[in-house]
Amino acid sequence: MSPTAAGVQFADNNLAGFERIHLEPHQSQLVMIHLPLRQLQYWSTAQSQWVTPAGSRTVWVGSSSRDHKLASVFDLK
């Protein structure tokens, strides 16, 4: 899901962060990826500042941009 703001266009998908790990079969690992707020913002020429649009965002986890094994949704307010 993409945020919506009047007159603002967003890419359908955006690589905002990644971490390369290697797992053996049946192995798991906790991975934390820091995502700067700026990755979720756009520059408003009308306001002359970075704006964080409220709305739902989807995070995908996979081995490539075409491999979405896991997904989760979070809300920005």
Q: What is the pLDDT of residues 38-73, one digit of tens each?
A: 988 999 988 999 999 888 888 888 888 888 888 999
> What's the mean pLDDT in 24-36?
92
Share above pLDDT 90 across residues of the chain, in percent, rounded to a whole number: 26
- CA–CA distance from 19 to each of 9, 24, 28, 45, 59 (Å)? 27, 16, 14, 33, 14
Q: Which residue has the tokens 């009308």?
A: 46
Q: Are 33 and 18 in contact (CB under 8 A)?
A: yes
pLDDT of the residue at 48? 94
Distance between CA atoms of residues 8 and 25, nearest Å: 43
Q: Is pLDDT of 2 > 70?
A: no
Q: Looking at the whole model, is its pTM more than 0.75?
A: no
Instruction: Spell out the domain ranges in the chain.
Output: 37-76
